[in-house]
Amino acid sequence: MGATSIFAQDSGGGSPASLLIFLLIPVVMYFLMIRPQRKRVKAQAALQSSIGIGDEVVTNSGIYGFITGVEGDRFWLEIDDDVQIRIARAAIQGKVHPGSDSSSEPSDGDADKDADKDADRNADKTARSTKGAKRVQPETTDDSDQS
């Protein structure tokens, strides 16, 4: 018992550096975790309050559509001609292309670049699929041998 109390008395004081570290941990957590989350929540709330009838939106589950009506905290979302679903306001992830025309077609230069990329992807897929494959020759039947 005597030895335990001696050790306890010797370890009574801590250095100011360790105290400073324990005080800095909550400050660092605030700037790395809490503050960015609050910014995201405020941005999402601002987005949801700015949504109106006629806006094209995407839901958290990936459904695209146009807002056709508002009922309190719910929206009517038209996902196809004469097909509407009712969704919660919180289910809206974001607006689709706000302020831009989504029906614009790419320029000819973009189309050429896209065609080149597609051709490269198809060539890569073909090379990968035939890399370890063995080529099998189809069996041919000779009609003259059967008679």
pLDDT at 14: 72
pLDDT at 92: 93
56 burial (CB, 10 Å; 0-12 / 13-18 / 19+) is: middle
pLDDT at 144: 56
pLDDT at 106: 40
Angle ∠(53,57,62) on CA atoms, nearest 5? 145
Taking 50 as the pLDDT cut, the residues of the chain under it are 101-109, 111, 124-136, 147
pLDDT at 17: 85
CA pair distance 139, 147, nearest whole angstrom = 19
Domains of the chain: 21-95 (2.30.30)
